[in-house]
């Protein structure tokens, strides 16, 4: 369903357990970035009405998620602050081709893969985290991020045939699996 080619390594759950504050702060940044990605796509492909409708909905949902994470941070006395981000998003965005319509296909598929990985990690968190409030929180976000993944893959088909989109999705998912498999030392949502 999520088109991912690997499962998250146990190493990451270890990072979450030891650095929950940093993971929560990074989660808020990720929701903010997800809203920004959808807004950028809305601006870049403003003549695609279906895309614009979907992007405005996603912007609103991601901003609502951002505020939910901020509320959670505030309840826990964790100050929201800047943190060095993981390299994951930048490395994936480096794979986007420069020419249209390939650029649109890649941008949408990369956004979709980031949604998919977030979703896979929310699933792990809801199953493994001892803290009931947090487990329920991740459970509540799982469905909308899975839906965002499907939306991005569907919209990529405005810019290439189904076959071409699925072939490219496979290629990008293989790269995504390689990048996330390398892991990062900083504890982040996508480390």
Note the residues at the interface with Fe ion (CB under 5 A): 31, 34, 62, 65, 115, 145, 148
Q: How far is the CB of 28 from Fe ion (least distance, A)?
A: 10
Q: How far is the CB of 34 from Fe ion (least distance, A)?
A: 5
Q: How far is the CB of 161 from Fe ion (least distance, A)?
A: 26
Q: How far is the CB of 118 from Fe ion (least distance, A)?
A: 7
Kindly tell me which of 16 and 55 has the beta carbon lying closer to Fe ion.
55
Residue with tokens 């996603």: 58
CA-CA-CA-CA torsion sign (44, 61, 180, 28): positive
Kindly tell me which of 65 and 106 has the beta carbon lying closer to Fe ion.
65
Kindly tell me which of 100 and 143 has the beta carbon lying closer to Fe ion.
143
> Rounded distance, CA 108 to CA 140, Å?
24
Kindly tell me which of 69 and 104 has the beta carbon lying closer to Fe ion.
69
Q: How far is the CB of 111 from Fe ion (least distance, A)?
A: 9
Kindly tell me which of 2 and 34 has the beta carbon lying closer to Fe ion.
34
For the stretch 85-91, contacts whose Cβ atoms lie closer than 8 Å and that sit 24 or more positions apart, written own/partner, are: 85/26, 85/29, 85/188, 86/26, 86/184, 86/186, 86/188, 86/189, 86/190, 86/191, 87/179, 87/184, 88/114, 88/179, 88/180, 88/184, 88/188, 88/190, 88/191, 89/33, 89/114, 89/190, 91/179
């Amino acid at each position: 369903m999520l088109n991912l080619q690997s499962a998250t390594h146990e190493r990451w759950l270890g990072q979450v357990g030891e650095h929950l504050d940093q993971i929560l702060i990074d989660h808020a940044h990720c929701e903010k970035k997800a809203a920004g990605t959808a807004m950028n796509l809305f601006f870049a492909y403003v003549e695609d009405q279906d895309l614009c409708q979907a992007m405005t909905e996603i912007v609103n949902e991601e901003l609502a998620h951002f505020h939910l994470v901020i509320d959670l941070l505030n309840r826990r006395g964790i100050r929201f602050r800047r943190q060095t981000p993981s390299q994951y998003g930048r490395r994936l965005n480096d794979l986007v081709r420069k020419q249209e319509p390939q650029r649109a296909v890649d941008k949408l598929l990369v956004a979709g893969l980031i949604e998919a990985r977030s979703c896979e990690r929310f699933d792990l968190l809801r199953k493994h985290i001892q803290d009931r409030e947090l487990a329920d929180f991740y459970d509540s976000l799982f469905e909308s991020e899975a839906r965002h993944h499907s939306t991005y893959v569907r919209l990529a088909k405005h810019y290439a045939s189904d076959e071409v989109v699925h072939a490219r999705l496979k290629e990008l998912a293989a790269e995504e699996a390689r990048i996330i498999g390398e892991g990062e030392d900083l504890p982040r949502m996508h480390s």
